[in-house]
Amino acid sequence: MPHIAIISASVRVGRVSHRVALYFKNYISENALATVEILDLKEFNFPVFDERLNHQKNPIPAAIDFSEKIKKADGVIIVTPEYNGGYPGSLKNAIDLLYPEWHRKPIAISTVSDGVFGGTQVLTSLSFCLFKIKAWLVPAMCPMPKAQELFDEQGIPADKQTLERRVVPFIKELFWCVEAKQKMEKHDG
Ligand SMILES: Cc1cc2nc3c(=O)[nH]c(=O)nc-3n(C[C@H](O)[C@H](O)[C@H](O)COP(=O)(O)O)c2cc1C
């Protein structure tokens, strides 16, 4: 069974996008698609970036743990809010910390906002950053507009069926990439 890591990017007090991360975790485990864990950037609480992990002399345990968890994951979902048209500093801080760990990693992005556009403006800057760092961007969107109305604090959706019309193709695309990568790795030996 593959393993999926969900990066919950908002560290804001009273954050809403974490509900989306909880929803994806429940969805993946309830449908027995993979083993799954949330990498909560609020819990990791990384200091502001001062060097990449593989260049650090005395890395903090949280950074090593984050690296191990990204390495172990067959696929990643990034759940990110939109802040002023971009993604939060907490996320850039965590992406820049690693480098080889991202190589060819299938990464799907779900953007979140409290307004009607679902945070989609984040996609331009975040996809380019992931491209630069050599990740494999899953070509599917899953915007979550008015997220505060879509989920309760435990990530339980108000309207499961309507939501799944958006979520099913997104998750399907992620798992296609995960499987394709596993096949290539087997093929390459
Ligand atoms: C600093 C800041 C900037 C924001 N900028 C935007 C924005 O550009 N577009 C948008 O749709 N929502 C914006 N929002 C609202 C977020 O979409 C909202 O907080 C939502 O709940 C997701 O963020 P959260 O997970 O931190 O709660 C902004 C919120 C903050 C705190």
Give the number of the atom of ligand 1 that is nearest the alpha carbon of residue 15.
27
Give the residue-averaged pLDDT of 48-77.
98
Distance, CA of 184 to CA of 146 (rounded, Å)? 39
User: Tens digits of per-residue pLDDT, 95-128?
Assistant: 999 999 999 999 999 999 999 999 999 999 999 9
The answer to whether the CB of 114 is under 6 A from ligand 1 is yes
Share of the chain above pLDDT 90, in %: 98
Q: Is the pLDDT of residue 188 over 90?
A: no
* pLDDT > 70 in the chain, percent: 99
**d(C-alpha 19, C-alpha 144), whole Å:** 11
Distance 120 CA to ligand 1 centre (A): 12
Ligand 1 atom nearest 12 alpha carbon = 26
Nearest protein Cα to ligand 1, atom 14: 83
Q: Which atom of ligand 1 is nearest to the CA of 119?
A: 11
Cα–ligand 1 centroid distance for 14 (angstroms):
11
Mutate to test the pocket of ligand 1, among 87, 113, 146 (most ligand atoms within 8 A of CB): 113
The DSSP call for residue 77 is E
Ligand 1 atom nearest to 118, measured from its CA: 11
What is the C-alpha radius of gyration for the chain, rounded to an integer number of angstroms? 16
C-alpha 87/C-alpha 121 separation (Å) is 9
Digit-coded pLDDT (tens) for 168-186 = 999 999 999 999 999 999 8
The per-residue pLDDT for 160 is 97
AA letter at 26: N
Give the model's confidence band at 147: pLDDT under 50 very low, under 70 low, under 90 confident, else very high: very high
Query: What confidence tier does 187 reach under pLDDT thresholds 50, 70, 90?
Result: confident
What does the pLDDT read at residue 73?
98
pLDDT-derived band at 20, boundaries 50, 70, 90: very high
Give the three-class secondary structure for 48.
Answer: coil
